[in-house]
Amino acid sequence: MQDLEAVIAGSSTLENVHIKSLAHCIEVCLQCAASCTACADECLDEPELADMRRCIRMNIDCADIVSVIARLLSRRGEPELSALRAVLEAGTSIATQCASETLKHAPTYEYCRLTSEICSLCARECEEALSMLCAVPSA
C-alpha cells in the first residue's frame, strides 16, 4: 500500500486530503469487488439457486460500484467532486445493503460471511472518504 500512497501523494491536486486514508479506501474497495465477485460465483453453484438470486444481484452490483470508486479515487488530477461524492454515497449504500444480504446466508455459507465483513468495512471506508471529500470545497 505504501507504493499506492506514494503515487497518490505525488499527483494529488486536493489539499487537506489524508493520502493514507484515501489509499486504504482504494485497497478496501478493490478487496470488496473481488470478494463480491467470488461470492456471486459461489452462489451460482448452490443447489437452491432461487434463494440466492438477491445475494448474487447485490454482489454483482456492489462489485461494479466499488470498482468504479477505486478507479475514481485513483485519478487525482482535478476530480469532479460532485460526481465523486455521488458515487461514494452509492458505494456506501450498496456495500451496506450487500453486507446485510450476504449476512442472511452467513450461517450456511462461509463465503457469504466473509463477504459481509468486507462489504461492511468497505461501506465504512466509503463513508470516511465521503466525509473527507466533503471537507474539500467543490471546484
Do the domain assignments include residue 71? Answer: yes
CB 115 within 8 A of CB 63: no
Of 68, 64, 59, 62, give the one whose Cα is nearest residue 26: 68
Long-range CB pairs of 22-26, under 8 A, 24+ apart, other chains included: 22/73, 22/129, 22/132, 24/125, 25/69, 25/73, 25/125, 25/126, 25/128, 25/129, 26/70, 26/73, 26/74
Residue 139: pLDDT band by 50, 70, 90 thresholds?
Answer: very low
| Cell (9 digits) for 83 | 460526481
Q: CA-CA distance, 18 to 93, in Å (whole number)?
A: 23
Do the domain assignments include residue 69? Answer: yes
Prediction pTM value: 0.88
Do the domain assignments include residue 57? Answer: yes
pLDDT tens, position by position, 62-88 = 999 999 999 998 886 777 888 999 999
pLDDT tens, position by position, 24-44 = 999 999 999 999 999 999 999
- Check which CATH number belongs to the domain holding 72 and give it: 1.20.1270.360
Please report the pLDDT score of residue 16 as a whole number: 58
Do the domain assignments include residue 139? Answer: no
Please report the pLDDT score of residue 128 as a whole number: 94
Do the domain assignments include residue 29? Answer: yes
Do the domain assignments include residue 87? Answer: yes
Q: CA-CA distance, 49 to 38, in Å (whole number)?
A: 15
Number of domains in the chain: 1
Range(s) of the domain holding residue 66: 2-134
